Structure 1
């Protein structure tokens, strides 16, 4: 895309690209990189030998201390050695050992930095050796001058090899009931040119998607066709939510070696609703859950989340794309102040039906929830019931106290309990599973 602006007036015509082959100053650059690598390798050998000498000296000092201890023990037996003399000798050995430890630590640091530099030069050598002939693309713009004057051109073009992915730091501040979400981008590029101190704009658009709505196709039905209804129609793709561009205030440098560059986008704060969730059939832990509404005017794209409670790191989570106005839900770790216990009170197997041809297994489950926190809490309890895939297997609830608030499509029961400090609540659930006696059922508790 070409734009023209200024004091003059022109009429833009056609645009095109012109490729120019460039000469490579290969020999000089290759020789320079090889000399750098040779110098660094020589320095690495020197550091290794230095560490060997320090290690050898350390072993010698250790042997001297052991020898001195043996001699001192023997001479003390005969009363020939003064305590002051022993302290002076041992002190001298320990002082030298401390110096060797400091020198070894400094040597290890230099070695680590040197290894990083060697890796960098080696990578540059590999990239240079695999480069083919270099070329340069130039833009050609045809235009007609209508009014003489100074005119500036602005050129925008699309290249491949650049990408960014979102990731987040989510910090829950319990005292203020606030979720602080730090929005970051991991930017990589393989365009062949290092980006040095550029003004970076991150866009949520995807140029590969079509912006056109696909035309509806007729759906044909017939007898005897083995094909899928409506098969053979063209398919299209449409763009998703409106494009958002994030302008990064600080200039950024991104190398073309594919290494990710962390770029901060923004930091947002949201008021949160805090609740707790437990699935006692699978775990005794109760988890803290934070829900917030995206009140910003842009989406939060899917990505990994590092979760913190205050300044304490909790673990890793993931975020699905949250559109403006959508709900954000994150689990913020285990809550030790709420205890949930599940007990299988009894399991009764009996025969029912005419002629005793039906087996029934009855379960009685007790779930106890205790709040040891100094505040009221809302706890969601989930208890999965067996989900039958066969009409001959029937699952039915007999007793349910207090009544569940939801039975979802996966046959999971939901209760929401509100507990005051030190309060205890119980859930009693009775249900049975019936099936033909001659059949074996898998998946029962």
Structure 2
């Protein structure tokens, strides 16, 4: 049997695995030969192994065998190795549970969105029951994740301690490995170049982005984050990232419908803690310079031409029927330590329409929104996007899959120079008298001030209560100016353009009338 020395010459990374190609050269006499390629990672998929190459030989077959390393004779060392294998298996189970919990969270979020409209038409008890169920399931998922992370850290610390003890006793022992036995036949003496490829688990890549707003507009940088723990280090070689799958902040504010209904007498129960399924907006930076807000400093002496911008390395792309494969220009080495290594895939300049969105009933903040179209040939996978205004980091948001030609709204952070105030101007409530109904009148005033040095387009969202019962009627009393849009669920939309240093005021109010003997629930006190 001939042992063939090979080196990793190409790796194609998929979202949940990788295809590795090893190459080597062998000089063979005429006849049949068995060529051994080892060591190969234990995690390789046996039915994925393939042999190719160049040379006048016939490949008769390829087999994969497990080469087990001799266990140390020392009983203490053997016990350490056994415990380390148990910890490895336990951490793999924790990783599987984490993936399952991520899928469950996405399912619950989709269920909440899809059920909102249907629940809006049902009684309050079903809405409360549904909310309680969601809260319970979210709590269970996150509690389990915290418990797993605590257990994972304990396993890691124990594993590291075992490694140190093992190094003191006998040094590191090689784990079991796979070997490929390639059977070939040569009619004449020949030198052959052989390529062995196989698929391994324990490797993945995902996308991350930089969204940067500057004087030149909105730019996007797409990065691939590669990590692997396959058991073999990848040297600098031909590396490709494929979107194929062989065989997951700052939010634009939205308002939910506001329903009111007759109160149902019930036995007093302890007050329940309020639930919130939306992302908090308090983790964003509240004050930062926008593009173009800082004055440019003139250089002393005669004007000098500006130096050219640095060039960026981008990957080449091969578009398939259902997936794309990207080849970064810069090769990178990826060790099998599970750490993420970043490579840039492409850089895009986006044509974006900028405006602001605010929902004062939810938060007195104005979100800078960019409405942009993907004018490239790339389908951008989902990923986390870091937000920058020039060189200033202002927060992060999640980017959903973005197809070529698709228009998308992007939240670019909070601008503290768009000041929003919402004030309760009037609230009157009358008691029902004989033959009359009870009446509640409420009026609000919203003030939006533009403290930026340029005009700003602002979309303002607010809402009116919606009655679920004919015994309660709701009428608007004040709408100045009239909203640009208004839907059947009571959501009001105003769109206004403010000059620099200007402000505007929106007044809106409503009247709620209830039949005699009916108590209205759902209104603020």
What TM-score range do you get, normalising by the shorter chain? Answer: 0.5 to 0.7
> What CA distance in whole angstroms lies between the structure 2 residues aligned with 1:246 and 1:150?
33
> What CA distance in whole angstroms lies between the structure 1 residues aligned with 2:368 and 2:346?
25
> What CA distance in whole angstroms lies between the structure 2 residues aligned with 1:21 and 1:287?
59
Deviations 1:21-66 (A, max 9, x none): 1546979xx99xxxxxxxxxxxxxxxxxxxxxxxxxxxxxxxxxxx
Residue 178 of structure 2 aligns with which residue? 136
Residue 172 of structure 1 aligns with which residue? 213
Deviations 1:334-374 (A, max 9, x none): 32333222222211223579823x43322222222233333
Residue 417 of structure 1 aligns with which residue? 496
Residue 21 of structure 1 aligns with which residue? 67
> What CA distance in whole angstroms lies between the structure 1 residues aligned with 2:72 and 2:331?
31
Residue 84 of structure 2 aligns with which residue? none
> What CA distance in whole angstroms lies between the structure 2 residues aligned with 1:143 and 1:417?
79
Larger displacement relative to structure 2 (124-133 or 259-268): 124-133
Deviations 1:294-327 (A, max 9, x none): 1111122222222111111111222111111122
Contact 2:369 2:410 in 1 (8 A): yes
Residue 244 of structure 1 aligns with which residue? 324
Work out whether 1:162 is the aligned partner of 2:203: yes
> What CA distance in whole angstroms lies between the structure 2 residues aligned with 1:415 and 1:9?
76
| Aligned ranges 1:38-117 → 2 under 5 Å | none
Work out whether 1:432 is the aligned partner of 2:520: no
Residue 238 of structure 1 aligns with which residue? none
Aligned length: 322
Residue 322 of structure 1 aligns with which residue? 402
> What CA distance in whole angstroms lies between the structure 2 residues aligned with 1:441 and 1:143?
89
| Aligned ranges 1:296-445 → 2 under 5 Å | 296-350=376-430, 355-356=435-436, 358-388=437-467, 392-408=471-487, 411-445=490-524
Larger displacement relative to structure 2 (387-396 or 422-431): 387-396
> What CA distance in whole angstroms lies between the structure 2 residues aligned with 1:444 and 1:313?
40
Distance 1:132 1:409, change over 3 A: farther
Contact 2:69 2:174 in 1 (8 A): no
Q: Which has the higher contact order (CA 8 A, sep 6+)?
A: 2
Residue 31 of structure 2 aligns with which residue? none
> What CA distance in whole angstroms lies between the structure 2 residues aligned with 1:198 and 1:297?
26
Normalized per residue, the structure richer in helix is 1
CA shift at 1:377, angstroms?
Answer: 1.6
> What CA distance in whole angstroms lies between the structure 2 residues aligned with 1:154 and 1:434?
81
TM-score scaled to structure 2, two decimals? Answer: 0.53
CA shift at 1:417, angstroms?
Answer: 0.5
> What CA distance in whole angstroms lies between the structure 1 residues aligned with 2:451 and 2:440?
36
Which of 211, 222, 229 is matched with 1:183 structurally? 222
Backbone CA RMSD of aligned residues: 4.0
SS of alignment partner, residue 252 of structure 1: coil
Larger displacement relative to structure 2 (147-156 or 419-428): 147-156
Return the index of the structure with the highest Cα Rg: 1
Unaligned runs of 5+ in 1: 32-117, 209-240
Contact 2:201 2:230 in 1 (8 A): yes
Contact 1:9 1:148 in 2 (8 A): no
Contact 2:358 2:366 in 1 (8 A): yes
Unaligned runs of 5+ in 2: 1-47, 78-156, 248-320
Residue 235 of structure 2 aligns with which residue? 196
Distance 1:419 1:8, change over 3 A: same
Residue 78 of structure 1 aligns with which residue? none
